[in-house]
């Protein structure tokens, strides 16, 4: 069936022709009868069975804005699995939407080269007091002034209620109604492009949320071949998998084609179970490449991956899955252990500054060594992979929200260490990503929150959350994920931007991002043109990067005491570019403006200073 897919238009669910006729397609291979139920059953239209389990109908009795469901086997009514809108929530009827009617103004927009991305991860519900797409638009000028050029939006697929991280979505094609729906998201993307900002959307293809999940009523969307943290795996390689694979390929194409999204961040692809000759990620990449060739618009696929396996980011020509980039948690873990000394849970695999140096050098910390946490050899080398294939960060929604109390870095380390950790990310030869609010040292936590309407499910989530933290040997009570207070406490406090020391932290981030984007060495993401040395006893790290005869020395001191390091002899004289310990950034003392080759320099506690050659 995939060979017949037309990448130029949406084929599943309800779509409208130019003269307003509805074309309806649903996959239900095991059912004996399917009918379209319009406006609460007042109109019941039988559908025709086609090959491979598809049912179709062409009708003028369904208009944009109408509510509808599918009547299955003459017994039950269910929302459309490919619904574009759920105005009454996950249990209510679907709403017909004409995706082609939006007045786009971004025909002159060209996606940024991936190596230029400076990412900013945000959660729509907590980024602003209003918690919707329109409110994000009001903050775009702020983000531009910070230096961000790509916003990464956590999942927006329809979920139960109005509070959720987004990973409990059960309608992958429907944009959350409380955020502003499809129209609101399109307007946000159009506005971003007008302001020359790219939009990355987080999508979840490894599981479906539990509440409102009616997929089994339509067909074998799941398989018992594999166990996952969420139960049965999505059926990508078992009997009847063709319809499921098409469903997710069509989803990826829709975001790019119909919503003008610039890149997708694919959640936890290591949890996708697929032993097909063509892995589902590779198939998605093949179809996206077809779309790119057809439209001339560039799109990227960025995977969250916990396998240290380059097969995912190898090009199609090398039999890889063709992902353009991947998140790399190991850089975060090494940086976190270096900064805090914390080694509980999955941090137990990381020694600190030696592993941070390896992350700078090799991307993967574990590329074939024995992993004590996993009790096995783990990973392969990421050889010949450019820096733009790896996304790094000092915090993200997972690393903050997976903590029992959801503490951000601002609550775990000093002001000076926060500046150092931010700098460690921004001087890397990888794609940097900020997590909303870190740029002003937001003290509010980002806690795990949901708004399930099923009482038993809500209680199960509470129990699961408590059990999860037993693994980290933590004491105390986890916040109630169902409580509105948990959600409200996770919202950013924008008024802090006008207060100290938050304003100074923001200026520091702004200056550092500008340096990163404008400097010919720091903006050149070569993993070959660098060297890194460490002193584990003193907790110092020197990152030396170069390009086209220009050299930059990034000197870092993770120790609470002043430490001395020797600068390189690559140049006779070095001039200071940025100093986190400068009083301008509320630091204790500034380093010299110039230093000579082989000169010893004293680094302030928990600080970073950058020098360049003449």
- The annotated binding site is made up of 265-270, 329-333, 397-402
Which residues sit in the known binding site for substrate?
265-270, 329-333, 397-402
Specify the pairing of strand 34-38 against strand 54-59. Answer: unpaired
Rounded CA separation 220/207 (Å): 14
Catalytic residue among 217, 250, 258, 267: 267
Q: Where are the beta strands (DSSP E) in 119-267?
A: 119-122, 150-153, 157-158, 171-175, 198-203, 222-228, 231-234, 263-266
Output the CA torsion sign for 320, 321, 325, 328.
Answer: negative
The answer to whether 512 touches 523, Cβ cutoff 8 Å, is no
The candidate with the shortest Cα–Cα distance to 155, out of 193, 118, 121, is 121
CA distances from 356 to 183, 393, 409, 424, 556 (A): 43, 12, 17, 9, 11
- With 0-12 CB in 10 A as exposed, 13-18 as middle and 19+ as buried, what is 342? middle
267 is annotated as an active-site residue: yes
Is the CA virtual torsion 93, 96, 102, 106 positive or negative?
A: positive
User: What torsion do the CA atoms of 312, 315, 318, 319 make, to the nearest 10 degrees?
Assistant: 50
CA distance 510 to 505: 9
Question: Cα separation of 25 and 50, whole Å?
Answer: 10
- The full 3-state SS of 344-368, as one line of letters, equals CHHHHHCCCHHHHHHHHHHCCCCCC
Q: Could you tell me the CA-to-CA distances from 363 to 330, 342, 355, 356, 377 in Å, in that order?
A: 8, 21, 10, 9, 17
Could you report how far apart the first and last alpha carbons of the chain are, in Å? Answer: 61
The helix (run of H) or strand (run of E) holding residue 302 is: strand 300-304
Residue pair 240/52 in contact (Cβ under 8 Å)? The answer is: no
3-state secondary structure of 224: strand
HEC per residue, 69-134: EEEECCCEEECCCCCCCCCCCCCCCEECCCHHHCCCCCCCCCCCCHHHCCEEEECHHHHCCCCCHH
- E strand spans, 164-248: 171-175, 198-203, 222-228, 231-234
137 given a catalytic annotation: no
Q: Out of 217, 237, 262, 304, which one is annotated catalytic?
A: 304
In Å, how far are 129, 136, 290, 342, 542 from 126, measured between CA atoms? Answer: 7, 10, 36, 27, 37
254 CA to centre of own chain: 18
Separation between Cα atoms, residue 345 and residue 335, nearest integer Å: 15
Task: Name which of 355, 376, 377 is nearest 365 in CA terms.
Answer: 355
For residues 89 and 212, is the Cβ–Cβ distance under 8 A? Answer: yes
Q: Is 580 exposed, middle or buried (0-12, 13-18, 19+ CB in 10 A)?
A: buried
Instruction: Return the active site residues.
Output: 267, 304
């Amino acid at each position: 069936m995939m060979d017949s897919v037309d990448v130029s238009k949406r084929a599943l669910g309800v779509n409208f022709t130019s003269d307003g006729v509805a074309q309806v397609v649903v996959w239900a291979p095991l059912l004996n009868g399917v009918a379209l139920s319009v406006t609460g059953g007042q109109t019941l239209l039988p559908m025709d069975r086609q090959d491979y389990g598809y049912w179709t109908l062409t009708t003028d009795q369904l208009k944009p804005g109408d509510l509808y469901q599918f009547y299955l086997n003459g017994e039950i009514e269910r929302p459309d699995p490919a619904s574009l809108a759920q105005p009454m929530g996950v249990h209510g009827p679907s709403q017909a939407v004409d995706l082609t009617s939006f007045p786009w103004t971004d025909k002159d927009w060209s996606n940024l080269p991936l190596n230029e991305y400076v990412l900013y991860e945000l959660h729509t519900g907590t980024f602003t007091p209003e918690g919707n797409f329109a409110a994000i638009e009001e903050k775009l000028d702020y983000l531009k002034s910070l230096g961000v050029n790509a916003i990464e939006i956590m999942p927006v697929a329809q979920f139960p209620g109005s509070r959720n991280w987004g990973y409990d979505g059960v309608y992958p094609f429907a944009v959350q109604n409380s955020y502003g729906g499809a129209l609101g998201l399109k307007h946000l993307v159009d506005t971003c492009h007008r302001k020359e900002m790219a939009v990355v959307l987080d999508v979840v293809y490894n599981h479906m949320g539990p509440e409102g999940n009616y997929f089994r009523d339509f067909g074998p969307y799941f398989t018992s071949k594999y166990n996952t943290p969420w139960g049965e795996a999505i059926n990508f390689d078992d009997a009847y998998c063709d319809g499921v694979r098409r469903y997710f390929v069509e989803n990826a194409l829709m975001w790019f084609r119909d919503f003008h999204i610039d890149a997708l961040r694919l959640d936890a692809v290591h949890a996708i179970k697929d032993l097909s000759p063509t892995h589902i990620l590779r198939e998605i990449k093949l179809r996206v490449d077809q779309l790119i060739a057809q439209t001339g618009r560039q799109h990227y696929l960025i995977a969250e991956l916990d396998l240290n396996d380059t097969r995912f980011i190898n090009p199609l020509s090398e039999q890889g899955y063709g992902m353009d980039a991947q998140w790399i948690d190991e850089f975060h873990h090494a940086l976190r252990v270096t900064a805090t000394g914390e080694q509980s849970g999955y941090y137990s695999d990381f020694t600190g500054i030696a592993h941070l140096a390896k992350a700078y050098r090799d991307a993967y910390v574990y590329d074939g060594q024995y992993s004590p946490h996993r009790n096995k050899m783990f990973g392969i080398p990421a050889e010949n992979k450019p820096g733009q294939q790896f996304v790094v960060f000092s915090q993200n929604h997972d690393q903050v929200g997976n903590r029992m109390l959801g503490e951000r870095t601002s609550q775990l380390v000093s002001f000076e260490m926060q500046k150092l950790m931010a700098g460690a990310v921004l001087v890397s030869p990888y794609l940097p990503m900020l997590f909303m609010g870190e740029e002003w040292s937001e003290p509010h936590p980002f806690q795990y929150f949901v708004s399930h309407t099923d009482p038993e499910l809500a209680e199960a989530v509470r129990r699961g959350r408590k059990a999860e933290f037993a693994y980290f040997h933590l004491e105390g009570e986890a916040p109630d994920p169902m409580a509105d207070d948990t959600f409200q406490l996770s919202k950013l406090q924008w008024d802090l931007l006008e207060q100290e020391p938050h304003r100074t932290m923001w200026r520091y981030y702004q200056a550092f991002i500008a340096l990163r984007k404008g400097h010919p060495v720091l903006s050149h993401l070569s993993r070959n043109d660098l060297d890194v040395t460490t002193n584990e006893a003193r907790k110092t790290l020197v990152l030396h990067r170069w390009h086209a005869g220009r050299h930059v020395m990034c000197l870092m001191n993770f120790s609470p005491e002043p430490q001395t390091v020797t600068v390189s002899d690559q140049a006779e004289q070095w001039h200071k570019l940025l100093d986190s310990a400068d009083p301008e950034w509320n630091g204790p003392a500034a380093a010299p403006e110039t230093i000579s080759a082989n000169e010893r320099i004293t680094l302030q506690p928990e600080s970073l200073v950058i020098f360049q050659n003449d």
